[in-house]
Structure 1
Amino acid sequence: MVRRLLLLALIVTLGFLLRFVYLGSVPAGFTPDEANQGYAAHSLLKTGLDEWGLRLPLTSFRAFADYRAPLQTYLIVPSVALFGLSEFAVRLPSAIFGTLAIIAVYLLANKLFPKTPQGWPKELPWGEINIGHLAALFVAISPWSIQFSRTALEANFASFLFPLGLLFFLKGVRGNSRLLLLSAVVLGLDLYSYLAAKLFVPLFILAYLITSRRQITKDGLRRLLPFLIVFTLFAAPLYIDALFGPGNVRGKDLAITNFSLGNLTTISNEQYFSPLNTISPQLSRIFSNKIVFTFQRFIGNYVSYLSPTFWFTEGGREITYAVFPGYGLLHLWLLPLIIFAFYRLFVTKEKNLPLLLFWLFLAIIPAAITKEGYRPNRIGSLLTFWEIIAAYGLVEIFSKARQWKTPQGWPQGLPWGGLVSGVIILVSLVSYLNLYFFIAPAKYPSALSFGYRDLLAKIKIYSDKYTTIVFDRGSQAQIFVAFYNRLDPTEYQSSSATWCCWPKSRSTQTNTPPLFLIAAAKPRSSSLSITGWIRLSISPLRLPGGRGLPRENSSFWICSTRIVWANIPSRPLMPVAILSPATLLSFGRKKPTPHLILIF
């Protein structure tokens, strides 16, 4: 037992180091979502209100024209209190929970598969390894877990809360009623961690109870009643908010039933060009309509989350969440282990096979009903599943290896198999860490909003010399100004009441503020409205010129794109290619001056 705990401690230490080393600076950049949650936590800490002036929101926090799950924001509050408002403080809770997920997976794997690799002799050091150690190791070095744990990403919390809640649930249903109550609390908190959990967790519990109704005795039903009551108390406010409040704004926007003009045009074209349309227009509508189109999108999305290329080679498509294209969410060497594991699960008719299948197929549903596929941040509850399955596959391989003949002089149990496995794991881990810590920061900085911290520090140098600072993005720059300048939350709250003036047709991101640092004149109007214009000193603003460019009173344009327009003397509105994702350009003011480019 001591050796097993020592080995687990070594694995957790490895996972801890992979998640905490350079946490504040890698990944390069700091996303608007991270800055938003950090400043919301800062506002709660200082005033008890979020940045919109709401006192201790229970079910959701308002963000960029959407509402996000509240759990992570509240967990960031003590971190900000201890370490101040910084990138490290914002990411710290996610890194902690990502490390704790290693322990949760260890315990759950041993509960699901209480086996040890029979092919490994007890007298060797690795004879103390069990399936939990393998699953924990796989999570500790998993690309998705490292990436999600090093950013303030809500989906990462599900990788800890659901395995832990499932562990307590299984132990509670099969004996300990106190653990069943604890399971209700943990799974209830999981609902507040991310939007997808609100659908997946109830579906999983319902499916398990229906299929296990014969095993659940009358005494078991009595134990389940307190569980259901506690879980319902956690769930009720969320579902009330989702049905009658603003809490599901983001979910409705992303749902595949929210048809765009392009979707409606596609459906109309399919009806028109269908051969059945020559027979009867009504007949073509039977096979080309919104219901069929929605079903096709659901199937396409669902299959995308089962694609080996998504998991093992290409990865996700949203670099914003530090998931880099061209590298899978899982190490490629896990694939044969997973395939063999499923083979053995069906052949041996493993008693927990139905539960595992529920976990796999139900966890994909919340992601499949949203627009587009290949979004790893929408399947947080499924991520640890693969490591547990792969660990089971490796155990079964070594168990079967006992039946193989080994060369004369080699010890039984094929210890060289462990050596080969270790080399493969080490090489793949080093390759991934090279990509993550050295290549990605130079290759994908713009996708992670790199440069705002240094940029705002440089702006302060010029704040007493120029009138206007201009951002080229219209809806998220204000949160970086608030975060890095540590604006007084009361000032932010008093200003936020006047935001969201753009019509919805103008932009879906409707909460860029006319704060004293962020204001602009609306074209052809004397009133202020929402843009991304940053003003560092209070003075009358002039109407922006062509294509939204400022006229002579403007001082700086902060760019995060590859091509910008610069008002260079003698060559006005000249397109300038910039060399970095965060470049500061100066414009002439009152009299012609040379243009200034600050690159960092």
Structure 2
Amino acid sequence: MIKHKKTFSPHLILAIILVISFFLRFYRLGINIPSLYSDDLGHLQMLFSIQGQITILGLFSKFLHLLFTFTWALGPTVLGIRFATALYGSLIPLFMFFFVKAVNRKNIQVALVSSALSTVLPWSFMISRGAYTHIPLIIILTLVHLTLFIKAKKITQYLVSLIPLLLAANYYPSMIVITPLVIPFYAHHLYRKTKTKKQKQAILITTMMLAFTIIAIFFTRYNGFTKQSRGVSLVITNDVNVTAETNLYRGYSQKTSPSIFSFGLPTETVANKLLYNFPAAVVRQFTENYLSFFSPDFLFLKGDSVLRHSTGQFGVFFPVLLPFMVYGAFIFFNKTKKKHKQLLLLWIIISPIPAAITNDGAKYLLRVVTLLPLLTYFSALGITKYISLFKAKTKTIISTVVFSAILFSAYGFFFGYFHVYPTLSAQSYEYGFRELSDFQVENNNQPLLVLWEGPYPNSYFRFYQQTKLSEYFGFNTKEIIIGNSLFYQTFDNLYFSWPKSKQDLDSFLTQYQVPHIAFPKTYLLNNPQYTPAFSLPPELILFPDLSTAFTIYKL
């Protein structure tokens, strides 16, 4: 009698992976640790928009907001704000499975391992715990696009695969950069596949239509090249500090004598202009930013330097995956179909470009997320191919060792996230504004001046004090100029400023009768002249590590 081996259903395993994914992303999601960041509170604006009057032109916008936030269902709460991100982040392993299955049709193990890795890897988890809903969404849409493109055989199927790409471009500026870069390669690929003149004309017309669509999204959704466009303002060519390093080198060289390398002339005559100029500085910064995403520090050690996107204890991948990622990439580029190789190589090369062209782009996780599922796939491919090299008994031992190492790494990451990260990241999340808001409420909502660069922390007060949305967004921020200083009144009882002088500050406090003033962090240690002369002993708001977040004086 023939005995059949017991095998688990791949779909059952996938279901278990998804349950784990949902559990990890929703675990303690609503307890405000780490605390909400000001960018997260943009969900209140969306809620206000959803509740507003419905117009034909605004229907699409309202539909996007309904998908983007669940505050309309769960209320303006921590859970309501973070729910959508966790939901879409929990689904990444599902779309990862179908993408890898499309690439490796004959090896479902690679798809399952890829799905499992994307459940526990730092990059996938971190983008699922904040309130940046668009980040997991563009990963899902990119994976859908790649899956459809890989499976496509007819021209119409290729064109349908581009729809998710256009939707992704509507969610995040990075995709506005990526989409026009990949479309010409797609057009070239399809142009070569077609045989009739009519089909070739259709491809050219479609390419032009896609280009116009991207341009329309850029100008209508992202404000084009205007000052209101955040993406344009971050481009390295608009950064006044991009030439700081080259200017320093020019200064050093000017102090030296002519040599054969300066063509026997003073360095400033030819050589400096040739080597240390604005284009050279931009290229250097771009290259530095671009390569940072392939560095061991970003991939395996520290990750994003912004602690809202990283725990600071792990890279975006676990160090144990390094050899498997390299091995998997080697296997992929040596044995996979030409179409698949070209497609993934194109996305690997292009994905870091949106981050690389921005002045704060080095190691910036949110602008390079389309790269990470591909490297996750390489890791899974490397693991499965490495284990397959061994015979049955040895294979069991090797599998146990490999997956135990990955699970232990995952345990270390999650322990660090829930027990170390809240203290480590507190300053990055601008911890203390909730306590400052509570202080104002406890003091009968008396006027408060907060020394801060810009008025945006008003959103913390409105959220924690549960201000009616109509009152919140109905109040127009007022600018008050006293001397050389600018003061912002963001609500009836709240002001923000970064005063230029003690005299300006005193004049404001006297004129507007503000009884409370809050100084951030070590401001008074660095500027002791601003310490109020006549006041009660200050109250302190402390970070979790017991350093000072705010010093509050009652005048």
Could you report, residue by residue, the CA deviation over 1:87-143 in whole angstroms, capped at 9, with x for unpaired residues? 211111111111121111100001112232xxxxxxxxxxxx521111111100011
**Quick check: 1:80–1:89 contact (8 Å CA) kept in 2?**
yes
Quick one: which of 556, 576, 580 aligns to 2:543? Answer: 580
SS at match of 1:470: strand
Aligned residue in 1 for 2:3:
none
Aligned residue in 2 for 1:515:
491
Normalised to the residue count of structure 1, the TM-score between the two structures is 0.77
1:301 corresponds to which letter in structure 2? N
How many residues were matched structurally?
A: 523
1:170 aligns to 2:144 (yes or no): no
Q: Distance in 2 between matches of 1:169 and 1:569?
A: 65
Q: Distance in 1 between matches of 2:538 and 2:435?
A: 24
The 5 Å alignment of 1:164-563 reads: 164-172=144-152, 174-175=153-154, 177=156, 180=158, 182-211=160-189, 213-218=191-196, 228=207, 231=210, 234-241=213-220, 242=222, 244=224, 246=226, 249-260=229-240, 262-264=241-243, 266-274=245-253, 276=262, 278=266, 281-319=269-307, 321-348=308-335, 350-351=337-338, 352-372=340-360, 373-402=362-391, 411=392, 414-463=395-444, 466=446, 468-475=447-454, 476-496=456-476, 499=478, 513-519=489-495, 531=497, 544-545=505-506, 553-562=513-522
Q: Distance in 1 between matches of 2:150 and 2:191?
A: 14
1:41 aligns to 2:29 (yes or no): no
CA distance change for structure 1 residues 259 and 354 in 2, over 3 Å: closer, same or farther? Answer: same
Aligned residue in 2 for 1:93:
84
Q: Distance in 1 between matches of 2:155 and 2:531?
A: 74
Q: Distance in 2 between matches of 1:330 and 1:550?
A: 55
Could you report, residue by residue, the CA deviation over 1:181-214 in whole angstroms, capped at 9, with x for unpaired residues? 5433321110022111111123123223325643
Could you report, residue by residue, the CA deviation over 1:407-447 in whole angstroms, capped at 9, with x for unpaired residues? xxxx3571222211221122111111110011111222121
**Quick check: 1:552–1:588 contact (8 Å CA) kept in 2?**
no
CA distance change for structure 1 residues 97 and 550 in 2, over 3 Å: closer, same or farther? Answer: farther
SS at match of 2:491: coil
**Quick check: 1:101–1:160 contact (8 Å CA) kept in 2?**
yes
Q: 1:84: Cα distance to partner?
A: 0.2
**Quick check: 2:540–2:550 contact (8 Å CA) kept in 1?**
no
**Quick check: 2:539–2:551 contact (8 Å CA) kept in 1?**
no
Q: 1:357: Cα distance to partner?
A: 1.0
CA distance change for structure 1 residues 422 and 499 in 2, over 3 Å: closer, same or farther? Answer: same
SS at match of 2:294: coil
**Quick check: 1:184–1:227 contact (8 Å CA) kept in 2?**
no
CA distance change for structure 1 residues 48 and 270 in 2, over 3 Å: closer, same or farther? Answer: farther
**Quick check: 1:569–1:588 contact (8 Å CA) kept in 2?**
no
Normalised to the residue count of structure 2, the TM-score between the two structures is 0.82
Identity of aligned residues (%): 20
User: Unpaired runs of 5+ in structure 2?
Assistant: 1-6
User: Unpaired runs of 5+ in structure 1?
Assistant: 60-69, 117-128, 403-410, 520-529, 534-541, 590-600
2:371 corresponds to which letter in structure 1? L
Q: Distance in 2 between matches of 1:225 and 1:138?
A: 40
Aligned residue in 2 for 1:115:
106
**Quick check: 2:450–2:519 contact (8 Å CA) kept in 1?**
yes
CA distance change for structure 1 residues 217 and 367 in 2, over 3 Å: closer, same or farther? Answer: farther
CA distance change for structure 1 residues 284 and 216 in 2, over 3 Å: closer, same or farther? Answer: same
2:218 corresponds to which letter in structure 1? Y
CA distance change for structure 1 residues 573 and 211 in 2, over 3 Å: closer, same or farther? Answer: farther
Q: Distance in 2 between matches of 1:88 and 1:197?
A: 28
Flag the structure with more relative contact order, 1 or 2, with Cα contacts below 8 A and sequence separation at least 6: 1
Q: 1:474: Cα distance to partner?
A: 3.6
Q: Distance in 2 between matches of 1:357 and 1:336?
A: 19
**Quick check: 1:26–1:441 contact (8 Å CA) kept in 2?**
no
**Quick check: 2:540–2:552 contact (8 Å CA) kept in 1?**
no
Q: 1:322: Cα distance to partner?
A: 3.7
